[in-house]
Amino acid sequence: MRYFFFLLLGTSLIISSEETRIKPDTSFVVMQLFTSQGCSSCPAADVLAEEIKKEYNDKNVMILSYHVTYWDRLGWKDPFGKKEYTEMQYAYATKFKERRVYTPQIVVNGKEHFIGSDEYILRKKVKQYLRKRTTNTVQLNSTKKGNQLEVTFKVNGEIKDKKVVLALVLDKETTQVRHGENAHKNLSNSNIVIVQKEHSLQKSQGNMKIDIPKKYSNMRLITFVQDEQLNITGGNQIKI
C-alpha cells in the first residue's frame, strides 16, 4: 500500500438528551483520523476506524474523522473537507517535529501519531490508553431546538491554559466518487466531523450553540479537553 506525503505549508422541535456523567478515574481514548476521499490509501483506515467504534461502543473511545483538503487538487473535491482540518494536521506536524503531513494519519490523545490503516498499532494504542487515568472529565448536556444544538458542559480537574473542543460528528455517509484516485467508487465514511467549535476554559463550565446542517441526521456530539501543547486530557460523547 502506498502513502503520499506533502510538505507543510418554522416549527421548533425540542429534544433533550440525558446528561452523561463519567467517574473521575475513567480512562478515555480520542482517535483523530486525518483522511480524504481523494486518497486511495484512506478507505482502509476509514473502515478500520468504524470497526473500532463498534467494538468499543460501551467504552469511552471516541473516533473523529477530519477530511483534509490537499487531495482536492487531483480532481475530486471532498465534500467533507475543510481547510481548518488541514490546518489542525499542520499544527500536529509542528508538535511532532515533522516536516510532512500525510493521510491516512491517526493522532491518539494528541500525543503520538501513526498510519491510520495499521490495525496492529491502532488496537495496541486503544488498549494502552484505556489503562491510563484521565486528568479531566467532562459532563455534557444538550438540547436540540430546530436546527440548533444548545450544549452545556462542565470540566472536572485542572483547566489552566486549556480549551474544550466540541465536535458534531456524522455517524456514517456514503458518497459516489467520480474523479481522483478513488474515481467510480462508492465510499462509506464514518465518524465525520462536520462542525467543530472551541472554547477557552476560563472557568470549569459553560455553554455553546452549534448549528446543525439540515441535510444530516444520526449524529453524536464529542467533546475533548486540550492543553496548549495539543495534549488531550479528557473527553466524552453523547448521541443527539
Residue indicated by cell numbers 466524552 = 236
The C-alpha atoms of residue 197 and residue 76 are separated, in whole angstroms, by: 27
58 pLDDT band (50/70/90 cuts)? confident
Contact 224, 164 (CB under 8 A): yes
Where residue 146 falls (left for φ over 0; alpha for ψ -120 to 50; beta otherwise) is: left
Segment 173-192, tens digit of pLDDT: 999 999 999 999 999 999 99
H or E element: which one contains 198? strand 185-200
Each domain of the chain, given as residue ranges in start order, spans: 12-239
CATH class of the domain at 12-239: mainly beta
* Residue of 73, 36, 76 whose CA lies nearest to 180: 76
Output the average pLDDT for the chain: 89
Three-class SS state of 51: helix
Question: Residue 92 corresponds to which amino acid?
Answer: Y
Q: What is the predicted pLDDT for the residue at 214?
A: 79
Query: pTM, whole model, 2 decimals?
Result: 0.89
Mean pLDDT value across residues 219-237: 96
